[in-house]
Each structure stands twice: as C-alpha cells, then as structure tokens.
Amino acid sequence: MERRFYRRLEDGRRGFLRAGLGGLVASLGAASALAATTTRKAVFQQDLPQVAMDGWQVTAVELTIPPGAGSQKHRHPGFVLGYVLEGELKFQVEGQPEIVIPAGQMFYEPPGSVHAVSASASPTKPVRFLAMVLAEKGKPTSSPA
C-alpha cells in the first residue's frame, strides 16, 4: 500500500513537471513568434553636441498645435529631439530652410539655436508632437528669442 502511494505521488510529480515544462515551451514559442513579427526601422540619426551631461535632465513635453496656429520664435537652453505623433509639423531652425515633418519622423534643434517656425502644416488638421528638451537642471525649457 505504501509503495502504491509513493508511486502515485511520483507519477503526480512527473505529470506536474511535464505540464510545467510544456507550458514553458509553449510560452517560449509564443515569445519567439512575437519576436519573429517585430520589425525595427531607424527613423532618425543625429550627431549630438559635445556636452557633459552632469547636472542635466530631460523634460518630455507633448504639444498639440491647432491648424493655423504656431509658436513664437524661441530657444531652448540645451538641445531638443522631437517626434511627430500626428499630422505634419512645419519646422524651421533659424539659418536653415523651412521643412515639413510628417508623423513618424523626428527633428533636432542644436543647443541655443532659435526655433523660428513651429506650426501645423495643414490648414484643417492639428499637429501633435513630443519634444524632449535636454538641458541643465533648473533652467526653463524655453525662452523667447
């Protein structure tokens, strides 16, 4: 009787291990299926300024500019990386040509540059973008130019 009890216990452990391993293998298969469907595409590459980042921080700001509106000329204390989420952004850094940046693309503003144009490129649709301002802690993220 005792022998049968231990055999059932051992069979139960084996079944439990088989089920656990089966679940692990199935989840690994699902993970590799996900990895197999993941795509990667570089959308932007930019050399960055020579700066020591000690005492710096990043401030991420989501902005929505309605059609027909835009910001005044301004500058940032550090550098800016931006990503257009929706719409098209009319963009210009002083001394460079005005461009239109579509959703899914990025922009860069060098430290201290004047951001001359920031507006929706569409007369009927807003533009929404994410701006990441990297600058020394305690400085305002933007000031009039």
User: What are the boundaries of each domain within the chain?
Assistant: 1-40, 56-144
pLDDT recorded at residue 118: 95
DSSP state of 54: T
Q: Which residue numbers in the chain have pLDDT < 50?
A: 5-6, 9, 16-17, 21, 24
Side-chain half-sphere CA neighbours of 52 within 13 A: 2
Q: What is the pLDDT of residue 136?
A: 92
Within 8 A by CB and 6+ apart from 6, the residues are none
Global pTM exceeds 0.95: no
Fold observed for domain 56-144 = Jelly Rolls (2.60.120)
Beta-carbon contacts of 56 under 8 Å, excluding residues fewer than 6 positions away, are 78, 134, 135, 136, 137
- What is the C-alpha to C-alpha distance for residues 58 and 79, in angstroms, rounded to an integer? 10
pLDDT of the residue at 9? 47
